[in-house]
Amino acid sequence: MGWFWADTPAKPSVAAAKPPPGHPTTGTPPPGCPMHQSAAAPPASACPYTPADSAAAQKDPNDQTMNPLNYMFSNLSQSRAPGQKVSLPTEREVSSIPKDDGTKWEYPSPQQMYNAMRRKGYEDAPEDAVESMVAVHNWLNEGAWNEICAWEGKFGGGVLGHLGLRERDPEWTPRLARFMGRRKDVTPKAQMYGFLGRIMPETFGGPPPFDRHDWYVLRKMPGDEEPREVRYVIDYYSGPPEPTGEPVFYIDVRPALDRPGLMMERIVNWSSDVWEKASGMDVRRREQAEAAKRNAGM
């Protein structure tokens, strides 16, 4: 997702639930997000990351060619940038997110992230904040992938598979084929919240999403010779900080309405949530989880 971090080393909190209602379609990004200033050019997407070929990187470290899988620069140098004062790690973290070939996506190192920021024009990027930025950035993407896996766990066989009316491929697991950052493209859902926020600000008022991603996930349905792509839309929101000062983020993950079947998945998922709340099932599950934690601590 986009580049952001807290000014303090406190561990952030991420919520996979729906963000507070009401998100206007315009507004300034969170103050702790210097890479999302309204006057700045949008940074390149930086997660997950396919490392460049080392030989190609040696040939032309300033190559502006973009990788079509993630819209990152094809070559991100691990070398120290001109005028850089703080030494940054060059180790890359391997994510838990599988690619279509079975390997894992890799995140850029702090040095690569800083070099990418400089190449996009952020000459005043704070060097001492890059490591914290990368850590939060990677952690939030892991949370987004967990949400996608939850959707695929329900609807990996489609709505009929979810209802038990069709078999599912037991050996197939979701994989991230490609993704792109679309921070300037406001989703219809965010636009709807923004419209409601202007009409009823007390109920639906709130900050807009500060970033958006589209992730293309491979799903293999029964009878498919090849897996199909399912586009997931991810809106990233910032929320009020915790009483202890930790920043809070909300991620709203859902399949895009590209096909009628995906629309049905969202309807079924929404109706299931409504039923759980109406029946009190969500409260019982929360109480059971809390009881399990207490018993585990005994």
Residue 7 inside a domain? The answer is no
Amino acid in position 41: A
pLDDT at 68: 53
Strands of 46-196 (E only): list them: 66-67, 72-73, 94-98, 104-106, 175-181
Q: How many CA atoms lie within 13 A of 50 on its CB side?
A: 20
- Please enumerate in sequence order all residues whose Cβ is within 8 A of that of 156, keeping only pairs 6 or more positions apart, or say none: 168, 169, 172, 174, 219
Question: Does one domain contain both 264 and 120?
Answer: no
Question: Does one domain contain both 202 and 152?
Answer: yes
- The two structure tokens encoding residue 172: 């197939």
CA distance 8 to 134: 14
Q: Any idea which residue has 């299931």 for tokens?
A: 272
Residue 153 inside a domain? The answer is yes
Question: Does one domain contain both 146 and 271?
Answer: no
- For residue range 264-281, what is the model confidence (pLDDT) as tens digits? 999 999 888 776 666 665
- Please enumerate in sequence order all residues whose Cβ is within 8 A of that of 276, keeping only pairs 6 or more positions apart, or say none: 282, 285
Question: Does one domain contain both 152 and 39?
Answer: yes
Residue 6 inside a domain? The answer is no
Question: Does one domain contain both 154 and 100?
Answer: yes
pLDDT at 132: 86
What is the pTM assigned to this prediction?
A: 0.73
Q: How many CB atoms lie within 10 A of CB 43?
A: 21
Residue 44 inside a domain? The answer is yes
- For residue range 65-102, what is the model confidence (pLDDT) as tens digits? 555 555 555 567 888 988 899 999 999 999 999 999 98
CA distance 253 to 152: 12
Question: Does one domain contain both 274 and 221?
Answer: no
CA distance 234 to 18: 11
Question: Does one domain contain both 193 and 122?
Answer: yes
pLDDT at 259: 93
CA distance 86 to 111: 10
Question: Does one domain contain both 181 and 99?
Answer: yes
Residue 8 inside a domain? The answer is no
pLDDT at 278: 67
- Please enumerate in sequence order all residues whose Cβ is within 8 A of that of 189, keeping only pairs 6 or more positions apart, or say none: 233, 235, 252, 254
Question: Does one domain contain both 250 and 283?
Answer: no
Q: How much is the mean pLDDT over the chain?
A: 77
Residue 148 inside a domain? The answer is yes
Number of domains in the chain: 2
CB-based contact 210:237 (threshold 8 Å) = yes
Question: Does one domain contain both 243 and 280?
Answer: no
Q: Which positions of the chain have pLDDT values less than 70? A: 1-75, 275-285, 297-298
Indicate the helix (H) or strand (E) that contains 264.
Answer: helix 260-279
Pairing of strands 248-255, 66-67: unpaired
- Please enumerate in sequence order all residues whose Cβ is within 8 A of that of 3, keeping only pairs 6 or more positions apart, or say none: 33, 35, 36, 43, 46, 113, 117, 133, 137
Question: Does one domain contain both 162 and 228?
Answer: yes
Residue 238 inside a domain? The answer is yes
Q: Which domain holds residue 213?
A: 14-255
- For residue range 250-260, what is the model confidence (pLDDT) as tens digits? 899 999 999 99
Residue 294 inside a domain? The answer is yes
Pick from 239, 226, 231, 228: which is nearest to 255 by CA?
231
Question: Does one domain contain both 271 and 154?
Answer: no
